Amino acid sequence: MQIFTEQLFRIILFESRINKKNQSIHWETIERSYAKNIFDRKSLFGILNGNLGIILFLITYYKHSIDKKEVRELIDKGLQECILHYENKNCKIGFYDGIGGLIFVLLEVYKLFSEQQYLDKANKLTEKKTNKFDCIKVNLEEGLAGYLLSLLHLYQVSSLEYLKNEIIECLNVIIGKARFSKGGVFWDEDMNSFAPVMGFLKGNSGIIFTLLEVQKQFVIEDKLYKKIITEAILFENTYFSTEKGSWVNTLNCDYYFGDIYKTEKIFNSTNEFSFKKGINSPFWDLGDVGFLISRSKDSNEYKLVIDSLNTLVENYLQQTHTHSQIELNKIGGVIISLYALGELSVDYNLDLIIDTISKSDTASSHYLNEHISDLSFFKGIVGKGYLILKLKERNISSVLTPFTGERKEQKEFLDIDVWAEILKCQLNKLSINFKINKPKLELFYDLFDVFFKQEFIENQFLQASLIEEKIKFRLRSKEENWLYVMANYKKNSQQNFKLKSNEKIKRKDNLFTFFDKIDNKNYILFPHPKGSILKKEISSIDSFLLNEVRNNAIDYHHLLEVMLQSNNSFQKMEKEHLENRIQELLKNGFIEKVN
């Protein structure tokens, strides 16, 4: 063990690159492999593949080192380079790749040296004015859940009111970004995907883990908070194969080779469930052991999975000819995760595992370039060294299982209104369909609250397919019967429907335009005198016209100009034809003159 980690330290020392301008240090790792001996090498700043992962090993190695001064210098100068990188650029915010990871590593250094400067630097990073809460991604690796997890670790050490407010704001955004389906709740940055990426690093499991960690430090009385977590677990469990005793890998190909996150190319209406043919993975990032981390309280329910993973580890240890795949992205990650969860069946013989890792060569198992020594934490020798030290110390705490510590006895109250955050986000997503203007927001919230809250609690979810039903419900809530008023208006009116250039027109209030994505048609919905809702198909031109005058009055001349200059997908019309369409809508009572 000592020989392996000492040799690794010497490699790190040799590979360090000095930034003379800032008197700091950085390292390069393999960013991407294309073929044997063809790869990109770059100075990166994440934990899994970059400078922070190397520094994390050095922090762990410090207690075992002979020359502590030399190790300390590498830690400090490496951190200086990372801080400069994150302070000067609009970077990712995640835990494994982003500002969240730097905060976590600074806390580890603070715990090691007990020097206030490291804690101050971590706190300062949370005050960095960025658009962090506009981040599209929610996952642990690069997104909001990763940043929230780092805030929870920081708040355990530094309970500042500012940090609590930051936690609340971040948590609200995560809740608001939840997506709803018949199978449960999920988060996904690709709004068109049929199969969101699952697992700990990029999917539901990592987000669930973070939401559960919030409850260790805070009391959240809103029962919908637990409901969100429960439904997120249920959604992910729809990917569980009882035949294989494993979760399906929804990626269908190696995440670490190429840009595969363009799911619209993989999943479409004709192969929506093709992902079920995917390969099951036991590994930490997208596979079984990562799923277990967010389900640690219910490990008895997943005994079949745990037994299968232990069998995998035991079979690996019995191999005598090869010790490849011991890195953290493979068997190493399974070992350290099972050990942290207290589920490693060979924990009585950790020395055997340490000896096996130590006998593996110092080359990386990096995809397509196994023969190239790489300082990657996740796929290279740095992670192997970290694993050896953690097992030697019998330390169940690791960056791959980033629990925040023991549950607090005296927990603070966190004022979160889950339903309000869901409504706020749904309003932003669906306002195009509802055509709601600001004065009508209160009515919108009242409607949503009455129509959906109880159904959500009872496992009915906000689906895009329910938009039409929401519109119908809102129309029925109107006291005035619009169709009846319109009929009387047409019957009694003797006016000429010819419009003057400066006359203003506006769409009638009690109707909605609605585009059905299933059949790609436009409709108007409006109430019938007997209480039912009528649905009338209209042309794309009529829909565009009605949307232009939906909220505010617009003069006839300006409307014509807008329509004639439009580059919309429908076929452009001659001015005379367009004038006839506007007058037809006026005659039918869909639009009206405004004095």
Please, how many CA atoms are within 13 Å of residue 12, restricted to the half-sphere of its CB? Answer: 33
pLDDT at 490: 56
pLDDT at 283: 93
Q: Which residues contact 341 (CB under 8 A, 6 or more apart)?
A: 292, 293, 296, 299, 401
Cα angle: 261, vertex 143, 252; to 5 degrees: 25
Please, how many CA atoms are within 13 Å of residue 572, restricted to the half-sphere of its CB? Answer: 11
CA distance 210 to 187: 13
pLDDT at 336: 95
pLDDT at 511: 75
Maximum Cα–Cα distance for the chain, whole Å?
100
Residue whose entry in the numeric block shows the structure tokens 């649905």: 535
Instruction: For the chain of 595 residues, list the mean pLDDT of each consecutive stretch of 10.
Output: 86 92 91 75 93 98 93 97 87 93 98 97 84 82 96 94 94 89 76 69 95 94 90 89 80 38 34 47 92 87 91 84 75 94 80 83 54 82 94 93 82 87 72 48 52 51 50 56 55 60 80 72 73 76 81 78 64 74 80 78
Asked whether 141 and 202 are in contact (CB, 8 A), the reply is: yes
Asked whether 254 and 367 are in contact (CB, 8 A), the reply is: yes
pLDDT at 518: 64
pLDDT at 87: 84
Domains in the chain, CATH or no CATH each? 178-411 (no CATH), 480-594 (3.90.930)
**pTM listed for this prediction:** 0.72
CA distance 150 to 101: 7
CA-wise closest residue to 399 among 150, 74, 39, 228: 150
Alpha-carbon distance values, 19 to 77, 78, 374, 474 (Å): 9, 10, 21, 63
